[in-house]
Structure formats: structure tokens, C-alpha cells
Amino acid sequence: MSIKTALTEALGIEVPVIQAGMQWVARAELSSAVSNAGGLGILSALTQPTPEDLRKEIRKCRALTDKPFGVNITLLPSINPPDYEAYARVVIEEGVKIVETAGANPSKVINLLKSANTKIIHKCTTIRHALSAEKLDVDFISIDGFEAAGHIGDGDISSQILLRRAAQSLSVPFIAAGGFADGQGLASALALGACGVNMGTRFMCTVESPIHPNVKKAITEASEGDTELLLRKWKNTNRLFKNEVAKEVKRIETEQPESQFTDVQHLVSGQRGKQVFLTGDVNAGVWTVGPILGVIQDIPTCASLVSQIERDAIDTMARINGLVHPKGKL
């Protein structure tokens, strides 16, 4: 038995599960393993220093899998932004036909990609933004609830509510993100109208994930309360692991009324976060993770994880279906 949805049909994948395009994590080793397992692996474009480095990573991923995979291009607020269109052109030139986009003002990049018949999954944290993305003719919208890791916006609306609102409001198919790690979560997302799930934290904690074993161990030992919301004061809310650095940022942000972003900028540096994954020192910087880490208790291969998710989702839906009986009969 298998699960067929608009996502599996359009993207040519076997299981409606996407691996999030996580900075520093979504490399060829992980993305190819997820695709080989039947899900959709996604490379992070901005993990690569230049568009040409992305080209090399795409070719590396293609050498490791003959299954579909995608690339994430996240448009971040920056004084000196990367050449996003150059990254997009590399994606087109290398024949990658699936791109996950995120961030503000993505129209130029999306239009460039759509001109090459690329399928676009755009990430949104509000229904308002999802409706705007729909006007850009994206193929799927990833609905990221408050439970997500990283940039979660400032709406504070849970995945369950956002997914029902998406079902009421959107005409394009949508994907559930934020708080999903297993087959039961996939079944719940499908019940709420989604055509699949997008998972980040769960795929960080797999054998093929290219991060230090100490970080994976920290995830399995943490609880659902071990994340921190930072940078809300500066309208850039991020959900991060509650380590010593995150606690210091939180203290400065909340206890120093006159504090500016420059007071914490050195603490939340992406390069420091990268060192966490390279060295295994979980206090070397801030790093992205969601509260679903409280559910994660093992470090499986991507193949065994995706297979288990599919089986558990099918079993869960069958169990729920078994609760339905004709009225008057037990």
C-alpha cells in the first residue's frame, strides 16, 4: 500500500514527505538519501558560498541519486544580499525542476524559475502571505506553523489552525510544516487538508545528516521545551535551541530596554551556528531546531525513517477508519 497525493503525483516521489532546505544541513549526502528513500530531498542554495559551488553540489547530489530532488532558495533581509538570481540560473542550467522558495519579495526569482517550467514550493507563515504567493502561480505552498524551527514570523498561529485556514482559503495544494516528525503527524496533516509534510528537525537527526554526532545526541536527549524564541524585538523572530548563547541573547533582548540588534548580532551569527554543526560544541552559537525534538528519540537512516513514516501513517489512517461504524451498531 502507498499514499498518493497531489504532491507525490506532481513531483514523482513515493512518499509525501519533504526534507526542509536547512542552512548548513541540507547538503548532498542528506538530500540524496531522502530522495532515495522515496521522499523529496532538498539542497540549501545559500549553504554554498557561490552559485558555482551550488552547481557542484547539485552534480554531487545527482551522482548519489537518480530520484527527484530540489533546491531551497531563501531570500533573507540583508544589506549585501547574495545574487539570488544567479543561484536560480544555476538551478535552471543544471536541470533541477523543483525549487523551494522562502522570504520576502520572491517574485523575480519565482518568475525566472517558472519561465523554465520549474515547480515552486513557497514557504509561508500566514494565510495572508500564502494568498499573495498564490498570485505568483506557485505550485505548492508550505504552511509553516508556530511550531516550526527558524524563521517563524510573528503570527504565533499553530500548524493545526493554519492548515484548516489554508484548506478554506487556498486553491493550490499546500504542505504542512512545523511540528511533524512521524507517520502519525503525516496522517494528521492529510486529515487537515495538506498533501504532505515538510520536516527539518527530524531529518537533522538521521545517520546521513552531515552534522556532528553531538548535535544529534543533544536532539534525542532534549524535551519539547528546549527551544527559545529570539529576535522578536526586531521583528525577526527565530526559534532556536535553548543553549547558553540563546539564553544570553534572550537576556539582552528582554532585560535591556535600550538594546539594539547590534548588541546581539555577534551572538546570532550564522558562522557561529555553522561551527556547532562542524565541531559538535552545542554552545558554540545559536542553531535552529523545533519543539518536535521532544518526540525524536533515535537516529535512524533516512530509508528506515521514511519507510516507518509511511507505514505508521497508513496504519493510523486505517485505525481511525476502523472507528467508523453504522449508527446503532458497535
AA identity, residue 37: A
Task: Decide the pairing of beta strands 238-241 and 150-151.
Answer: antiparallel
Integer Cα distance of 246 and 228 in angstroms: 7
Q: What is the pLDDT of residue 330?
A: 60
User: Angle at CA 35, nearest 5°, toward 33 and 40?
Assistant: 130
Integer Cα distance of 4 and 168 in angstroms: 22
Q: Is pLDDT of 153 > 70?
A: yes
Q: Are residues 268 and 243 in contact, defined by beta-carbon separation less than 8 angstroms?
A: no
Please report which residue ranges of the chain form alpha helices under DSSP H: 6-11, 28-36, 51-64, 84-93, 107-114, 127-134, 159-169, 183-191, 201-204, 213-221, 244-255, 270-279, 302-321
Q: Are residues 46 and 34 in contact, defined by beta-carbon separation less than 8 angstroms?
A: no
Q: Is pLDDT of 179 > 90?
A: yes
Q: Is pLDDT of 183 > 90?
A: yes
Integer Cα distance of 124 and 122 in angstroms: 7
Q: Is pLDDT of 79 > 80?
A: no
Q: What is the pLDDT of residue 76?
A: 84
AA identity, residue 135: K
Average pLDDT, the chain: 96
What average pLDDT does the segment 203-219 reach?
A: 98
Q: Is pLDDT of 107 > 90?
A: yes
Q: What is the pLDDT of residue 1?
A: 87
Integer Cα distance of 205 and 200 in angstroms: 9
Closest CA to 90 of 66, 65, 116, 67: 116
Q: What is the pLDDT of residue 116?
A: 97
Q: Is pLDDT of 144 > 70?
A: yes
All structural domains of the chain, each given as residue ranges with its CATH number in brackets, are: 6-199+300-321 (3.20.20.70), 213-279 (no CATH)
**Within its chain, how far is the Cα of 152 from the centroid?**
11
What average pLDDT does the segment 147-155 reach?
A: 90
Closest CA to 10 of 179, 174, 193: 174
CB atoms within 10 A of CB 65: 17
What average pLDDT does the segment 63-72 reach?
A: 98
Closest CA to 71 of 121, 24, 105, 108: 121
Percent of the chain with pLDDT over 70: 99
Q: What is the pLDDT of residue 329?
A: 64
Q: What is the pLDDT of residue 319?
A: 97
Q: Is pLDDT of 112 > 90?
A: yes
Q: What is the per-residue pLDDT across 307-323, written as a single tens digit (0 to 9) for each?
A: 999 999 999 999 999 99
Q: What is the per-residue pLDDT across 236-282, written as a single tens digit (0 to 9) for each?
A: 999 999 999 999 999 999 999 999 999 999 999 999 999 999 999 99
What average pLDDT does the segment 7-13 reach?
A: 98
Q: What is the pLDDT of residue 78?
A: 74
